[in-house]
A and B are shown apart, each in its own frame.
Chain A
Amino acid sequence: MTATTTSQKPARLWQRWPLLGYILRRLGTSVLLMLGVTMVTFVLTALVPGDPVAAALGEGAASNPATVAAYVEEHGLDKSIPERYLIYLAALLQGDLGTSIKTGRPVATELATAVPATVEIALCAIVVSLAVGLALGTIAAHHRGRATDQVLRVVSLLGLSVPTFWLAIMAYHTFFLRLGVAPGAGRLDPTFTPPPTVTGLYTVDFILGGDPVGFFDALAHLALPVLVLSLFTIGLLTRFIRAAVLEVLDTDYIRAARAKGLPRRRVIGAYVLRGASLPILTVVGVAFGVLLSGTVLVEAVFAWPGLGTYAFNSAINLDLPGVMGVGLVVGVIYLVINFAVDLLYGVLDPRVRLA
């Protein structure tokens, strides 16, 4: 025994802790992808058809040669493309996402308040979608081929077919303007003052500040946009979870668990959903991307001051720095989520770590 151990090289750090090695590899991939994301936004910014100087300064200022020269100098527009990319990257690292053409304020400052608003809506939507999707998907799988399954199939396909931006307008019109059961636009009633900022998520901050009335108002304002946003992802998750559960139901260990006489609830909770957890995790990651896309189309309707409304206003006004800023921030958020999903894979399934 001792002979074999001494003849081997001392185990490296990641050989002793495979999970650590896995995390480091994933982290490396994510950093590279993040660089790629900045490259995409840079190329799209640099390749703008037309005169970027005139676009950024406006017609008036662009006719002044001194202003133009100063702008070209400041943004290094006279340098080569690789040099300009490095300048762009250096600016990004200092938190400079450019200046909004519409408002003249730094994009980074404007996005800083928008990110928590969108994170709050997206987190709520993913919780709602996952809860409903898990329930409907499991039910559909258990009633496979029967009427319940068919109805759920049509329902989830309907969810995947509704244009979210239209549903948002319809919901706002019906539940706020007509019926008056939902609160109006925005994150809070005008009579409330926002809670002291800790996380930027109003619901959490109200709880931390010990203000239940404010919490319920924030929650009520979340309800409609979250439900509208969730419909598509509920459809998506239901279809995928049904398929994942069906796959597991067909395995020997589920048959064994049933044959053993375990109660159905325990078989589903402890065996089926656990066995299906990896594909479910994958589709939750995908659903997050869909939700981030959806916010762009939904938030503006509810005047929700998040990334989506900012993107909508930037797009409508062709404010390119604003649009690119949203693209970059959402790209990074999505990368972080995918990184977290990858880590969870490694935790849930030891085989993944070795791949």
Chain B
Amino acid sequence: MSASTSPRTRLRRGRLFRAIPTAWRTPLAMVGAIIALAWIVIALIAPWAAPHDPLAQQLPRLTAPGDASVLGTDQVGRDVFSRLLTGARVTMPLALLMVVSATVLGTLIGSIAGFVGGWVDETLMRLTDLIMAFPTVILAMIIAASLGPSLLNAVIAGIVVSWPQYARVVRSLVLSLRTQNFVIAGRLLGYSPWRSLRSDILPNVAGPVLVLASLDIGTAILLLTGLSFLGLGAQPPAAEWGSMISGAMSHIDAWWLGVFPGLAILTVVMAFNFIGDSLRDALDPLSSAEREGAAGGTEHEEPAAVENPTTEEGR
């Protein structure tokens, strides 16, 4: 076992595609996937499923959950249930946009830094140091405040604070891959740096980056709703979970105003964390080897030397 773990970077790509079905079979990932899927469906059908206009102030104010409205009404007579459903359309796509942008930007910068090296590497890495010198929410807060309060600016602030972690991981992977024999062989065959990066290096970076990204979706949702809670994201009267909780602070006796949007955030974030954590577990060479062993070796671990990404590329 110890022989196959040292060149494990070469195995990553193969691992990723084998890991997804493995991760899926665990109950934790299954629960996460079901909840996440449910919320995605809610986000899609919200305009038709919501019993009332989420912005219309036409119901009696501050009525408790009951027959008239399932989850009660807020301080200006809007239907909490309708606002909750509509909120799914706001937070989830933006969180996804934030994570995808940060992943692409971070992977790009990290691979440039690792591949080019020299002063380019030095400059880019000092930039990540600088951003990581702040606690993330604090930096996102000051960026969002200076750009002006809006959801889009909150997303931009989120991207700025979260790309460095991807850049760091990708850079260190690229650095270790650069000296691997199959990459050197590619260069000797006359690959341009770009082709080497694209066909030999980036496929092997995909696994860890995907795990990081899947774990980051929950963080992104917490960040965006947190900024909205601070008044730096969604602006009233938008139906957004963080600002709904913020509004509930001044009506603390109307418990239904705060409880439900919070539960919505909790379940969504939890679902993505369950999925991300299971994926990480399945990709981790130690734990997946153990699971394969425990399952009676259903999935045979090939020796590292045999599974060579250069042959996988099929050229």
Q: Which residues of A contact B (CB under 8 A)?
A: 33, 36-37, 39-41, 44-45, 47-50, 145, 150, 153-154, 157-158, 160-167, 169-170, 172-173, 177, 246, 250, 289-290, 292-294, 296-297, 301, 311-312, 314-316, 318, 320, 323-324, 326-327, 330-331, 334-335, 338
Contacts and interface: CB of A to CB of B under 8 A. Distances in A.
B: interface residue count bin: 35 or more
B160 to A, nearest CB: 10
Contacts of A158: 270
B258 interface: yes
A318 B273 contact: no
Contacts of A289: 134-136
A355 to B, nearest CB: 15
Contacts of B232: 315
Given A150-B28, A330-B135, 16 more contacts: A33-B129, A37-B133, A39-B130, A49-B148, A157-B270, A157-B273, A166-B245, A166-B265, A169-B262, A170-B258, A177-B253, A311-B138, A323-B141, A323-B146, A324-B142, A331-B133
A194 B160 CA distance: 41
Given A145-B290, A157-B273, A170-B258, A311 B146 contact: no
A203 B206 CA distance: 50
Given A33-B130, A44-B143, A163 B269 contact: yes
Interface stretch (B67-75, B103-111, B221-229): B221-229
Contacts, number: 149
Contacts of A318: 145, 149
Contacts of B222: 161, 163
Interface in B251-268: 252-253, 255, 258-259, 261-262, 265-266
B139 A327 contact: yes
Nearest to B276: A157
Nearest to B226: A297
A170 B262 CA distance: 9
Contacts of A314: 145
B40 to A, nearest CB: 17
A335 to B, nearest CB: 6
Contact of B147 (A49, A166, A312, A335): A49
Interface in B283-309: 286, 290, 294
B135 A293 contact: yes
B87 interface: no
Contacts of A335: 133
B230 A169 contact: no
6 contacts: A33-B130, A36-B126, A163-B266, A169-B245, A297-B230, A330-B138
B229 A153 contact: no
A294 B135 CA distance: 10
A330 B136 CA distance: 11
B277 interface: yes
Contacts of B294: 145
B80 to A, nearest CB: 15
A167 B266 CA distance: 10
B141 A315 contact: yes
A209 to B, nearest CB: 33
A173 B255 contact: yes
Contacts of B266: 161-163, 166
Contacts of B265: 163, 166
Given A301-B249, A315-B230, A334 B134 contact: yes
B166 interface: no
A145 B242 CA distance: 36
Nearest to B253: A177
Given A163-B269, A177-B252, A292 B231 contact: no
A297 B229 contact: yes
Contact of B273 (A33, A161, A170, A338): A161
A35 B163 CA distance: 22
Interface in B183-227: 218, 222, 225-226
B170 interface: no
Contact of A163 (B226, B230, B231): B226
B245 A165 contact: yes
B248 interface: yes
B152 interface: no
A296 B147 contact: no
Contacts of A50: 148
B156 interface: no
A324 B262 CA distance: 28
B81 interface: no
A331 B262 CA distance: 29
A36 B270 contact: no
Given A163-B222, A292-B135, A297-B229, A320 B245 contact: no
Given A157-B270, A323-B141, A331-B134, A165 B226 contact: yes
